[in-house]
Amino acid sequence: MHKTNILPNILKKVGRTPLVRINKIGKAYGLKCELLAKCEYFNAGGSVKDRIALRMVEDAERAGIIKPGDTLIEPTSGNTGIGLALVAAVKGYRCIIVLPEKMSMEKVDILRALGSEIVRTPASNFDSPESNVSVAQRLRYEIPNSHILDQYRNPGNPMAHYDTTAEEILEQCEGKVHMVVGGAGTGGTITGIGRKLKEKCPECKIVGVDPEGSIVALPSELNTAEDATMEVEGIGHDFIPTVLDRSVVDLWCKSNDADSFLMARRLIREEGLLCGGSSGSAMSIAVKAARTLTEGQRCVVILPDSVRNYMSKFLNDRWMGKNGFLKNVQEHKPWWWNVKVQKLNLSAPLLLVPEVNCQKAIEILKEKGYAQAPVVAESGHILGMVTPSNILSSVLAGNAQFSDPVIKVINDQFSKISLDDNLGNLSNILENDHFAIVVHDQMQSPATLCSSCMRDFSPSLSRVMDPLAIHPSPKPHAW
Ligand SMILES: Cc1ncc(COP(=O)(O)O)c(C=O)c1O
């Protein structure tokens, strides 16, 4: 029979992820060895976790534990969720991902697009009732035919890397590897690779990367910076995952956020590798650890995921500056950055009272030519914002009716800014939000500010932002 190259579905993706030579960064650090990157973002869902997601599902199917139509629940920092959601979409499972708030919106959007349901949990200790692990367990008890494959305990997690990732590295290096550097999240990657390499290439050193603020590294004296920020996603924990076998790791090194993000940006800029932040963590350690290697030796660094997950985070100069990771952002600020908001020619906005109904609110906004209005309680307290489109989408989604009071559909996630703040702060807010509310102490009534209000100050701002206009109004009206 004639064979084609067409695969039955994306899960049957064959072939290895690329192993790529790092040309400039290794030289810049004076390394003598060959520095190589295993680009795991070439997997179908964009990360190393695709390997374990498929493995855990297929193992459970073979064991008769799960079948299409069942619900898969997983607590994850995102990438395992994306891998599982992808498998669930193709195989016909319902998928619920329990994700800490810290994880990027890009991951949430991808999970939604793959049809999975998402539950966000606050940053908390793993054993607290609000942690993503505890919440996933509660859902598991409540939902019939639901299962947690549990990447933290599932032996298929390290086995996926033992059988595939490690084999690929050995094959791509023709059996000659002298150091592997990788981060530990669940520890599945480093454990699986470490076990296989200890068997087949015993001289190879396994270097584990653990972010400051995590307690996974050994000896435990390394884990001193308990209050360090851990903005890098995917690695580090306040507990030791069951699947992590720390005996295969020869050396633990602590990474930090700033070095990680700056190195990830270098990998993109200098090597053309569109990797995520924890890839920068691994590489920032590798350039130091590989100093012990000599010419002709090889160091392989695992790049677990792609920048796709972090477009609004470390790729963004403002985010880097705001978090203190890019010191010279200050120098490039435009002339208006420190001008006070009060210098803008602000006019009072249209105000709505919470009792006005949705139909009436749309009519008032349309009639008065406003694109949005704050909803304000009798006390003057701002309850939220409404726009015609958020009213309509709530009604269309069946969450409200036109006859319901507008309070039912308000958006209460809005940023407030004071007249004393500078335009730099406002610009940062408008980078992500459509509007900000200017509140001032003496007057109760707020003003809404949007990108177009800043046109005089920044042509670039008005170009990149949603042009919701503020409309002049002689004095505040409450409807
Ligand atoms: C974003 C990301 N995903 C996954 C992993 C691998 O994690 P695990 O230890 O769970 O195999 C890492 C480790 O560096 C990571 O940074």
Predicted local distance difference test score (pLDDT) of residue 297: 98
Strands 435-439 and 447-450, how do they pair? antiparallel
Q: In degrees rounded to 5, what are phi and psi of residue 81?
A: -60, -45
Question: Within this chain, do residues 254 and 351 fall inside the same structural domain, yes or no?
Answer: no
Q: Decide which of 121, 148, 175 is a domain's last residue.
A: 148
Q: Say what the pLDDT of residue 334 is.
A: 79
Are 234 and 356 found together in one domain? no
Q: How far is the CA of 31 from the centre of ligand 1 (A)?
A: 25
* CATH code where residue 386 lies: 3.10.580.10
Residue 280: Cβ within 10 Å count: 26
CATH number for the domain spanning 52: value is 3.40.50.1100
Do both 125 and 98 map to the same domain?
Answer: yes
Ligand 1 within 6 A of 304 CB? yes
The DSSP element (H or E) to which 208 belongs, if any, is: strand 205-211
Domain assignment present for residue 360? The answer is yes
Residue 253 maps to a domain: yes
Q: How many angstroms separate the CA atoms of 440 and 341, rounded?
A: 11
What is the value of pTM for the model shown? 0.73
**Residue with CA nearest ligand 1 atom 6:** 185
Which member of 3, 13, 38, 49 is catalytic?
A: 49
Is 49 designated active site? yes
Structural domain containing residue 354: 341-442+459-465
For ligand 1, is residue 271 a contact (CB within 6 Å)?
A: no
The atom of ligand 1 lying closest to the CA of 189 is: 11
* Span between the terminal Cα atoms of the chain, in Å: 74
Burial 163-201 (b: 16+ CB within 10 A, else e): ebbbebbbebbeeebbbbbbbbbbbbbbbbbbbbbbeeb
Three-state DSSP at 241 gives: coil
52 lines ligand 1 (CB under 6 A): no
Mean pLDDT of the region 345-361: 87
d(CA 189, CA 202): 18
- Residue in 202, 219, 203, 75 with CA at minimum distance from that of residue 151: 75
pLDDT, mean over the chain? 87
Average pLDDT value for residue range 220-249: 91
**Kind plus residue range of the DSSP H or E element containing 435:** strand 435-439
Run of H or E including 451: none
Question: Closest ligand 1 atom to the C-alpha of 182?
Answer: 14
Residues 38 and 53 occupy one common structural domain: no
Same domain membership, residue 105 and residue 87: yes
Domain count, the chain: 3
Residue with the bigger pLDDT between 399 and 180: it is 180
Cis peptide before 8 (omega within 30 of 0): no
What is the mean predicted confidence (pLDDT) over 121-138? 80
Residue 330: its pLDDT value, please?
54
Task: Tell me if 436 is assigned to some domain.
Answer: yes
pLDDT value at 16 more than 60: yes
**Domain membership flag for residue 476:** no
341 against 126, higher pLDDT: 341
Cβ contacts of 140 within 8 Å, gap of 6 or more: 73, 146, 147, 148
Separation of CA 473 and ligand 1 centre (Å): 53
Q: Are residues 189 and 127 located together in one domain of the fold?
A: no
Which span out of 70-79, 341-350, 395-404, 460-469 was modeled with the highest average pLDDT? 70-79
Q: Which residue has the tokens 């299409």?
A: 68
pLDDT for position 447: 58
Inter-helix orientation angle 388-396/358-368, to 10°: 150
| CA-48 nearest atom, ligand 1 | 4
Residue 94's closest CA among 43, 55, 57, 45?
57
The reply to whether ligand 1 has any atom less than 6 angstroms from the CB of 185 is: yes
